[in-house]
Structure 1
Amino acid sequence: MVKNVTMADVARALNVHPSTVSLALKKDLRIPEATQLRVLKAANEMGYRPNPYVSALIAQRRSKSPENSTATLAFITEFETRDGWKASRNYLHLRHFLAKHAGNRGYQVEDFWLHEPGLSPERLKQIFETRNIRGAIICPLAADNDTLEFDFSDMVAVTIGYSLKVPTLNRVVIDYFGLVQIAINALKKQGHSRFSFVSSRHIDHRVQNLSKAAYLAKWQEDPQDFLFPLIVPHLTPEVFSAWYHRTKPQTILAASRDTFAFIQKWAENASIHIPADLSLVCLDKQAGGKEAGVVQHLEKEASATIELLTDRLEHASFGIPDFAQVVQVSGIWEPGWSAGSTGALN
């Protein structure tokens, strides 16, 4: 399939911003005449043709009539059940924020489940074409899958997280490597020591091993203060207890809320007091929670997803990108009772 030349292609060829190309092709007076002529010449030589979908979309979004001002973005899920993704609190928050920021840009978000009875990928593609839906957000995939069989050749798609490997799409992710660095830097300033990191292989795989990598980098630099991590297929009280009493960590970074809750319950049963005997930190802390940890900024992740998607949609950058872009969203440290922070409960 021959790829249509887009304004972004013309902009790259001329080493200018796509908005310059857009304005020049409209003969906007803000663009010097010489630049307009250079852009027009390059566009003609490269075979650029205005995309009627994009022109209609922009006109629609600029319409004064509310009922005609909203285009649809697909939120695609492929869990075993239609609402399987809703079991994740993070995904629920993301979906809410996606709708909010899409609405701010004149779009609405609609859910599509790939395993809907009688709905093949080909049939869903026909639905998208009939309804002129050209933008898609891919929800993180189910745990046992990393491939999505769907034709994105004339669509713009952005995936959230690292779970989707094929096809290689533009993606927006939490900076999992940075979460560990943020936590360690904050804890070091508070005088914490004898660190370790606890996770499951499932979580580790979902985040591309990035949290583990960040921790192991510290362990390699200072194995006296950073103990070897515990990463197992399934956490059990017996396995954790044996590891804890063997290594004697003073500060544990828990990769998830479930891991944090597991260690908290284990400590209660073992008469180990948090934070007096053990400081415990959650790397996926819920905003406003009382425990110490790093909040994954889900609203920023959603905002970045909508911005990335709509920018490419309005520049007609359809299809699988030649060079996929990854946008990372930083976390935010919040002190709390579990790491000995005073005033966290005030």
Structure 2
Amino acid sequence: MSRPNLQTIADQLGISKMTVSRALRGERHVEDTLRTRILETAAALGYRPDPEISKLMTHMRQKRRTHAPRTLAFVWAERKVSEISLSPWSQQLIQGARQRADQLGFQLDEFYLSAKGMTGRRLSDILEARGIPGFILSPLISRSRGHVSMRWEKFSSVVIGLGYARPALHRVHHHHYLGMMTAMRQLKKLGYKRIGYYGGSIVNERMFGAWSASFLAHHPLPLKQAAELLGLRRELTREDFHRWLARARPDAIIRNGQNAGDWLEEINIPQDLGLVTLDWQMESPDITGVDQQAEVLGAAAVDLLVAQEQQNERGIPAHPKIVMTAGEWQPGKTVRNVREV
């Protein structure tokens, strides 16, 4: 028995082969009731697309895009234009995403949910009217336990970062557990033992405790002693930091972002303490740390989104994927080899 193809489905339903093809590709030109009949018939006949033909069609579509690139969206969930321009991490993120989109034959346009009068529903209407089939949603911070009300069924989508936001979608994020593990191993190699971590508990919760878990798992001291060097706080203040510093007596501190950054100015770094940041920035090359490589993260988000677009996957996925990208260790001047002292 020959393998069922598009013509087989078309003959079964008494419609054109082109209509079947459009329906299976998820194009909007096919009426919903007819699309359902086509999908049901394809399933009943055991239709499976030929992977070689699919690859050829993908190649042909990409060649067409070099002349007229399709547009994808990068949606900033919370940050405003002024905030993004001041954030090197955000600039690297969007630059990496834009470059990867261009390589794949797509144009990437930015949108802002924080714009005046903008809502998820309104933005959905705008994207649909412009024929934009999918979007990347930037990290959710204040709404990490909330819900963004986009018309998910209309689009392919990818969320950057973790958190408890709903619905559960495909995500990409930096491998924070690996980042902390890298920092701990580098400090141990230099001879540091009383390694402390002082940072915000909210951001740690948003990544499902990856930093704290990795810190405790890879600490050179026994678990009970290591836990005393873990300084997670709901609110970070200079006074609390110095109290923690006096009580914990670390020989090295790991931090994220600017947490405790300005509060270390009175301390002799690296002679009194070693200092490592979990989100190294090229604007501060002297600080030792882990470069999260936001541009790689942005590119990975585009890869995941384009894969959905090419396979005509829309809506909330039945089995959400999580793609993680690794950081890169950046040596600096804020640690030293204490074994030689």
TM-score where L is the length of structure 2: 0.76
1:232 equivalent in structure 2: 233
Alignment size in residue pairs = 293
1:83-115 Cα deviation digits (max 9, x unpaired): 444443211210111111110100111111224
Name which of structure 1's ranges 114-123 and 207-216 shifts more when overlaid on structure 2: 114-123
SS state of the match for residue 167, structure 1?
Answer: coil
2:92 and 2:247 map into 1 onto residues whose CA distance is 39
| Aligned-pair Cα RMSD in Å | 3.1
How far residue 263 of structure 1 moved from its aligned partner, in angstroms, is 3.8
Provide the C-alpha distance between the structure 2 equivalents of 1:56 and 1:131, rounded to a whole number of angstroms: 24
Superposition pairs for residues 62-73 of structure 1, below 5 Å? 62-63=63-64, 66=67, 68=68, 70-73=69-72
Percent identical pairs in the alignment equals: 27
Residue matched to 2:9: none
Matching residue within 268, 274, 280 for 2:275: 280
Residues 46, 147 of structure 1: CA spacing in aligned structure 2 closer, same or farther, 3 A cutoff? farther
Does structure 1 residue 147 correspond to structure 2 residue 147? yes
Secondary structure of 1:73 counterpart: strand
1:145-184 equivalences under 5 Å are 145=144, 146-163=146-163, 165-184=165-184
2:213 and 2:80 map into 1 onto residues whose CA distance is 33
How far has the Cα of 1:118 moved from its partner?
4.5
SS at match of 1:327: strand
The answer for the alignment partner of 2:204 in structure 1 is: 204
Counterpart of 1:294 in structure 2: which amino acid? Answer: V
- 1:78 maps to 77
On the 8 A contact 1:160/1:173 being kept in 2, the answer is: yes
Q: Which runs of 5+ in 1 are unaligned?
A: 1-21, 26-40
Equivalent residues in 2 for 1:1-346, closer than 5 Å: 45-46=45-46, 59-63=60-64, 66=67, 68=68, 70-79=69-78, 81=80, 83-145=82-144, 146-163=146-163, 165-218=165-218, 221-224=222-225, 227-256=228-257, 258-265=258-265, 268=266, 272-287=267-282, 289-340=285-336
- Deviations, residues 272-325 of structure 1 (Å, cap 9, x unaligned): 311111111111111471111111121221121111110111011111111111
Contact 1:74–1:109 (CA under 8 A) maintained in structure 2: yes
Residues 209-263 of structure 1 deviation map (CA, whole Å, 9 limit, x = unaligned):
211121123458444467431111222222122221122110111122x025234
Residue by residue over 1:2-27, the C-alpha shift from the partner in whole angstroms, topping out at 9 and shown as x without a partner, is xxxxxxxxxxxxxxxxxxxx9xx9xx
Q: Is the 8 A contact 2:195 2:253 kept in 1?
A: yes
Q: Encode CA deviations 1:175-227: one digit per residue, 9 max, x unaligned.
A: 11111100111121122211111101233234332111211234584444674
Q: Distance in 2 between matches of 1:307 and 1:65?
A: 17
Instruction: Tell which deviates more after alignment, 125-134 or 322-331.
Output: 125-134
**TM-score when normalising by structure 1:** 0.75
